[in-house]
Chain A
Amino acid sequence: MSPAVPSVPAPPYGALFYVAAVNIVIWAGLFLYLFYIDRKVRAASGGVRTPEDRP
Chain B
Amino acid sequence: MLRAAQLILGLGMVVIIWASFLWARPAENFVGQSSRIVFYHVPMAWVATIAFFLAAWHSAVYLRKRRIESDDAASAAARLGFVFCILATVTGSIFARVMWNAYWNWDPRQTSITLLLLVYGAYLGLRGAIEDSERRATLSAAYALVAFVTVPFLMFAVPRMYASLHPDTVLNARGKIEMSPDIKTVFFAANLAFLALFLWLYNLDRKVSRILREARP
Check A24 against B18 for contact (C-beta < 8 Å): yes
* A:1-55 near B, CB below 8 Å: 2, 4-6, 9-10, 12, 16-17, 19-20, 23-24, 27-28, 31-32, 34-35, 37-38, 41, 44-45, 48, 50, 52-55
Check A38 against B204 for contact (C-beta < 8 Å): yes
Check A24 against B211 for contact (C-beta < 8 Å): no
Q: How far is the CA of A19 from the CA of B2 in the complex (A)?
A: 31
B208 neighbours in A (Cβ, 8 Å): 41
User: Interface majority SS on A: helix, strand, loop or mixed?
Assistant: helix
Q: Quick one: given A4-B180, A28-B14, are A41 and B22 in contact (CB under 8 Å)?
A: no
CB distance from B25 to the nearest CB of A (A): 6
- Asked if B192 is an interface residue, CB under 8 A from chain A, the answer is no
Check A52 against B2 for contact (C-beta < 8 Å): yes
Check B23 against A6 for contact (C-beta < 8 Å): yes
B180 neighbours in A (Cβ, 8 Å): 4
B20 neighbours in A (Cβ, 8 Å): 20
Check B206 against A50 for contact (C-beta < 8 Å): yes
* B:35-73 near A, CB below 8 Å: none
Other-chain contact of B181, A4, A12, A34 (Cβ < 8 Å)? A4
Other-chain contact of A54, B2, B25, B181, B200 (Cβ < 8 Å)? B2
Other-chain contact of B22, A10, A38, A45, A48 (Cβ < 8 Å)? A10
Check B207 against A16 for contact (C-beta < 8 Å): no
Q: How far is the CA of A11 from the CA of B1 in the complex (A)?
A: 37
Check A41 against B10 for contact (C-beta < 8 Å): no
Q: Quick one: given A9-B23, A34-B200, are A41 and B211 in contact (CB under 8 Å)?
A: yes
Q: How far is the CA of A13 from the CA of B91 in the complex (A)?
A: 23
- Asked if B164 is an interface residue, CB under 8 A from chain A, the answer is no
- Asked if B17 is an interface residue, CB under 8 A from chain A, the answer is yes
Which residues of B come within 8 Å of A, CB atoms?
1-2, 6, 9-10, 13-14, 17-18, 20-23, 25, 33, 180-182, 199-201, 203-204, 206-208, 210-211, 214
Which residues of A come within 8 Å of B, CB atoms?
2, 4-6, 9-10, 12, 16-17, 19-20, 23-24, 27-28, 31-32, 34-35, 37-38, 41, 44-45, 48, 50, 52-55
Beyond known contacts A9-B22, A45-B210: 16 more, CB 8 A cutoff? A4-B182, A5-B181, A6-B182, A10-B23, A16-B22, A20-B18, A20-B22, A27-B14, A31-B13, A32-B10, A34-B10, A41-B211, A45-B207, A52-B2, A54-B1, A55-B1
